[in-house]
Amino acid sequence: MRRLFPLLALLAVAACAPSAPVATPPGPSASSVEAAPLAYELSPEEEAFLDTLQHRTFRWFWETTPENGLVHDRYPSRDFSSVAAIGFGLPAYGIGAERGYVTRAEAAERTLTTLRTLYEAPQGPEQVGTAGHRGYFYHFLEYDDATRFRNVELSTIDTALLMGGVLFSREYFDGDTEAERAIRAYSDSLYQRVEWPWVRNEGATVLSMGWHPESEYIPAEWKGYNEGMILYLLGLGSPTHPLDPDTWTAWTDTYEWEEFYGYEHVNFTPLFGHQYSHLFVDFRSIQDQWMRDKSAELGEPYDYFENSRRGTLSQRAYAIDNPGGWADYSAEIWGLTASDGPSDQAVEVDGETRQFHTYWARGASADHINDDGTLAPTATGGSIPFAPDITIAALMAMAERYPDLWTEDYGFRDAVNPTFVFEDVPIKRNSEVTPYGWVDHDYLGIDQGPILIMAENFRSGLVWETLKESPYLVHGLRRAGFQGGWLSGAEVEMPAPIDFPETAEASQPNEDRLLVVVLGSSTAEGTGPSHRDSTWVNRFREYLEGVDVRFDVLNLARGGYSTFHLAPAGTAAPDHIRGAPDPQRNIDAALARDPDAIVINLPSNDAASGVDTETQLANFAAMVARAEAAGVPVWITTTQPRGLDPEWIAVQEEVRDALLATYGDRAIDFWSGFADADGAQAQRWDSGDDVHYNDPAHRIFFERVRDAGVAATVLAAN
């Protein structure tokens, strides 16, 4: 892993003179689209409400964030930090300074601490112990050292949203104090070291959604209209690792223009896709070639701001129509986006079975509808500038109707579901069922941010106006072909490229490496323990490295996976088990790494998905047969106790017994001592969600894997 040069060098870079002005591209100097004024006049009641909303939401960022600046993904649940939430928190500090919630010096100190934490966190290709690679950051980070949380992906979009906040900080803190100079230096270095073109699948023009050190690039790519706009614009603006302008054309070529509830627009289902890029960029009156062509086709001006306005209005129209018959939907109660939800249970509602979800990308568009009756204040709050009259009214109506949703501490909790009034159905942790439906107790950073930032953009334009001074963003917009409006008169100086040390490449495995591959689901991935060092896999990794330095552990586990996901290619999975087999994380992927041993850990997802005993055992047998044909020994952990229906607990016990009987010394008992009298998880081992296991349980899991003879078997063969 590699750390880049320290603050003194950064400050020297910040003092360098800009290299050249960012020129306006050839073409019309003025747009045919005039900037649409945000002309809605607030009533005194609305003004007071927004004052309160912004102050409370700001306090969430200011009061709950740890001292190192790593903003929570969610709170009061505290599992990890979200880099996108950090990106939203950085403008929040500037808003707080402008509104007098904190002093400018206090905001600068918090910002500097955050940027320093991010820049000094290690980067590199290793599986564990780094915050990112090639300037990109992992989606979620550990609180204590800002390194990768579990097996999450290196996320292109979350890095871009982080960089949006970083570039706001660069322009907002333009003073001559030591702290503000350092902020600009760290901002330049964080942004310029991102190697934007690197995360691409072979032969692709558009970017991948991310990368795993275990399995390379994610097949899913940034296509279609969504929040990926900010990713491409910032990548195009880089002076060190720029994207090619053809990337933007490839992106816009995948747009889908359709009508939904009377509004023609480029569709995206959850509202956050219409909002996130707009947190940072004022798209009023500026157009790329796609929007210029669309304006000519329509015979009237059209831009991305208008597109998001129509997306917002179409969702409200959908709620008024309410084809699903969900409780409370109306002209004032509406708003679907990615958010928490009550449960993953199917429940009978008025004689009809309804499937509910916990966290889910809810939304409604011509493409598809994801709706289970859950409403999120951020859906309307993030659209305040697009339609202030209906969004502010919706927020005020929700605050009045659902008092447990609207709190004196930190504003809106994440979500409410008025249809979900069932007290006998399991619900997500940190939530409750009230007389007016299910209410979340968590606040999510990526949902708090749009409320605060877009309220401020509507009221003062602070974030928009600040980032109009960003040479990187202006350069990116112009290279994407944007013209007109405020962009025509933007005069900015492009900073000189920073000469970074060469990026560390992933080292080639030594010929004498002893590789153990772990396949599995969330337990092996690391869900449950308080820190990555407490997971059974990482304890086992440390143990093996102590036995022989040649040992290496490759963890391909992924939460939610079943035997079908790990089965050999060609295995037919039921329709409800999607993405199986997974060619990047199944037995074939493990064997492609030329391992010396494989450990498979699948606790309960098969039974939870309705897969019977015989089918599970057949899938295990197929995996073992494939490995044995390659001469690779396999160890299989048994099922683990979980609070399922009695029928499926019986299946869990049958699979446990069959694995122990079939595989003998190569079966590892993950059941004994962990079950209560009913065969469910005993409370003492619960990590807090009635499914996953805590630190003491993972220590025992590790000890049982350690004592199964994996190391001795591998060493004897080598």
Q: What is the pLDDT of residues 122-136, one digit of tens each?
A: 999 998 899 999 999
Mean pLDDT of the chain, nearest integer? 93
Contact 2, 195 (CB under 8 A): no
- Is it the case that residue 572 has pLDDT exceeding 60? yes
Residues 194-212, mean pLDDT to the nearest whole number: 96
Q: Which of 67-73's residues contact partners 24+ apart within 8 Å by CB, and which partners?
A: 67/113, 68/113, 68/114, 68/117, 68/143, 68/146, 69/110, 69/111, 69/113, 69/114, 69/115, 69/117, 69/118, 70/114, 70/117, 70/141, 70/143, 70/146, 71/445, 72/445, 73/140, 73/444, 73/445, 73/446
Please give the Cα distance from 564 to 520 (Å, whole number): 11
Please give the Cα distance from 131 to 93 (Å, whole number): 23
* Token output for 668: 């590892």
Burial category of 106 from C-beta neighbours within 10 Å (exposed 0-12, middle 13-18, buried 19 and up):
middle
Residues 692-702, mean pLDDT to the nearest whole number: 97
Band (pLDDT 50/70/90 cuts) for residue 506 is low
Residue 504 pLDDT: 67
Band (pLDDT 50/70/90 cuts) for residue 560 is very high
Please give the Cα distance from 264 to 260 (Å, whole number): 6
Residues 62-67, mean pLDDT to the nearest whole number: 97
The answer to whether the 255-467 and 514-717 domains have the same CATH topology is: no
Please give the Cα distance from 327 to 597 (Å, whole number): 53
The residue behind tokens 């391909």 is 556
- Is it the case that residue 4 has pLDDT exceeding 70? no
Q: What phi, psi does 338 have (nearest 5°)?
A: -65, 130
The pTM of this model reads: 0.87
Q: What is the pLDDT of residues 272-286, one digit of tens each?
A: 999 999 999 999 999
Cis peptide before 581 (omega within 30 of 0): yes
Contact 370, 271 (CB under 8 A): no
Q: What is the pLDDT of residues 96-109, one digit of tens each?
A: 999 999 999 999 99
- Is it the case that residue 7 has pLDDT exceeding 50? no
The helix/strand/coil state of 179 is helix
Band (pLDDT 50/70/90 cuts) for residue 8 is very low
**Residue-range domain boundaries for the chain:** 1-14+53-221, 255-467, 514-717
Is the C-alpha dihedral spanning 519, 525, 526, 532 positive or negative? positive
Strand boundaries in 151-295, DSSP class E:
154-155, 210-212, 216-217, 257-260, 263-266
- Is it the case that residue 172 has pLDDT exceeding 80? yes
Residue 16 pLDDT: 39
Q: Output 15 or 449, whichever has higher pLDDT.
A: 449
Q: What is the pLDDT of residues 608-630, one digit of tens each?
A: 999 999 999 999 999 999 999 99
Residue 407 pLDDT: 97
Residue 522 one-letter amino acid: S
Band (pLDDT 50/70/90 cuts) for residue 567 is very high
* Token output for 462: 């602070």
Please give the Cα distance from 428 to 472 (Å, whole number): 42
CA angle 676, 680, 686 (to 5 degrees): 85
Please give the Cα distance from 379 to 376 (Å, whole number): 6
Please give the Cα distance from 135 to 191 (Å, whole number): 8
Question: What are the residues whose beta carbons fall under 8 Å from the beta carbon of 603, sequence distance 6 or more?
Answer: 521, 523, 637, 639, 640, 642, 670
Residue 28 pLDDT: 33
* Token output for 164: 């949006």
Q: How many CB atoms are closer than 10 A to CB 140?
A: 21
Q: What is the CA radius of gyration of the chain?
A: 26
Please give the Cα distance from 677 to 658 (Å, whole number): 21
- Look up the CATH number of domain 255-467: 1.50.10.140
Please give the Cα distance from 338 to 363 (Å, whole number): 7
Contact 431, 441 (CB under 8 A): yes
Contact 598, 634 (CB under 8 A): yes
- Is it the case that residue 26 has pLDDT exceeding 60? no
DSSP state of 67: T
* Token output for 693: 């296991």
- Is it the case that residue 543 has pLDDT exceeding 60? yes
Band (pLDDT 50/70/90 cuts) for residue 508 is low
226 — alpha (psi -120 to 50), left (phi > 0) or beta?
A: beta
Contact 237, 479 (CB under 8 A): yes
Residue 531 pLDDT: 86
Residue 112 pLDDT: 98
Residues 152-157, mean pLDDT to the nearest whole number: 97
Please give the Cα distance from 558 to 521 (Å, whole number): 5
Q: How many CB atoms are closer than 10 A to CB 283?
A: 22
Residue 690 pLDDT: 86
Q: How many CB atoms are closer than 10 A to CB 409?
A: 12
Please give the Cα distance from 227 to 215 (Å, whole number): 25
* Token output for 536: 């059974």
Residue 14 pLDDT: 39
Q: How many CB atoms are closer than 10 A to CB 517?
A: 28
Residues 292-314, mean pLDDT to the nearest whole number: 98
Please give the Cα distance from 437 to 299 (Å, whole number): 46
Please give the Cα distance from 183 to 196 (Å, whole number): 22
DSSP state of 36: P
> Into which CATH architecture does domain 1-14+53-221 fall?
Alpha/alpha barrel (1.50)
Question: What are the residues whose beta carbons fall under 8 Å from the beta carbon of 15, sequence distance 6 or more?
Answer: none
Question: What are the residues whose beta carbons fall under 8 Å from the beta carbon of 489, sequence distance 6 or more?
Answer: none
Q: How far apart are the first and last CA of the chain?
A: 28
- Is it the case that residue 402 has pLDDT exceeding 60? yes
| 559 HSE (CA, 13 A, CB side) | 11
Q: What is the pLDDT of residues 37-51, one digit of tens each?
A: 468 999 999 999 999
* Token output for 682: 């005993």
Closest to 342 in 3D by CA, of 453, 421, 409, 285: 421
The helix/strand/coil state of 12 is helix
Residue 23 pLDDT: 40
- Is it the case that residue 541 has pLDDT exceeding 70? yes
Residue 433 pLDDT: 98
Question: What are the residues whose beta carbons fall under 8 Å from the beta carbon of 630, sequence distance 6 or more?
Answer: 591
Residues 69-90, mean pLDDT to the nearest whole number: 96
Judge: domain 514-717, CATH 3.30.470.10. Answer: no
83-98 and 44-64 helices, crossing angle to 10°: 130
- Is it the case that residue 677 has pLDDT exceeding 70? yes
Contact 166, 187 (CB under 8 A): yes
